[in-house]
A and B are shown apart, each in its own frame.
Chain A
Amino acid sequence: QKEVEQNSGPLSVPEGAIASLNCTYSDRVSQSFFWYRQYSGKSPELIMSIYSNGDKEDGRFTAQLNKASQYVSLLIRDSQPSDSATYLCAVNYNTNAGKSTFGDGTTLTVKP
């Protein structure tokens, strides 16, 4: 079993819809959680980080964390064609530094 698993894609949503991306992790000691966006041919870039249970909102993006269920999700409201990318979930064992474990990614396509 992989340490970080993401829902298999690809995921396709119409413009203006809500895109929901899910991620589960296996190690209960994980402390920090990240969503990176990767455009085709580019390097990953951070879009959201979350450290405590609950929701964290940043513009159209909401990250949700449930440590008891070992589950983290990313909601993208009012999806735009520019959101079309691969989204990588990552978990880290501490909140200061250290290496992260990445999922395989979910590719999102937003259709105009």
Chain B
Amino acid sequence: NAGVTQTPKFQVLKTGQSMTLQCAQDMNHNSMYWYRQDPGMGLRLIYYSASEGTTDKGEVPNGYNVSRLNKREFSLRLESAAPSQTSVYFCASNGLAGGPTQYFGPGTRLLVL
């Protein structure tokens, strides 16, 4: 099992550009999450999906949109990137046999110039 995978690993954008971060899990988890982590900070929840077909805002949703494409995939879109969105983005999943423990992907490092 690959666990949680994310693409790309690293991306540089110019202000105003758009991009989509991809996340997929093969653990049959119901719930998926997108976090951002700024230097020296904890994880801040952007959006989450409790189950296929549902999405909800987290703590810092402004400037982002999400799509729960199916049970496995949860994407995060930046429509018009801003320097304040420079961060490391982590996708995570949990649920069912895994319980509440969150399993994280390797992260995407995003730099917005």
Residues of A within 8 A of B (CB): 32, 34, 36, 42-46, 49, 88, 90, 92, 94-105
Contacts and interface: CB of A to CB of B under 8 A. Distances in A.
Contacts of B101: 34, 46, 49
Contacts of B100: 32, 34, 49, 92, 94-98, 100
Contacts, number: 62
B109 to A, nearest CB: 9
- The number of chain B residues touching the other chain, given as a range, is 20 to 34
23 contacts: A32-B99, A34-B100, A42-B107, A43-B105, A43-B106, A44-B90, A46-B102, A49-B100, A88-B42, A88-B43, A90-B102, A94-B100, A95-B99, A96-B95, A97-B30, A97-B94, A97-B95, A97-B99, A97-B100, A99-B48, A100-B102, A101-B45, A103-B42
Interface of B: 30-31, 33, 40-43, 45, 48, 50, 58, 90, 94-96, 99-107
A97 B42 contact: no
For the residues of B in contact with A, the DSSP-based class is: loop
Given A96-B95, A97-B31, A43 B104 contact: yes
- Residue among A88, A97, A104 facing the most chain B CB atoms (10 A cut-off): A97
Contacts of B90: 43-44
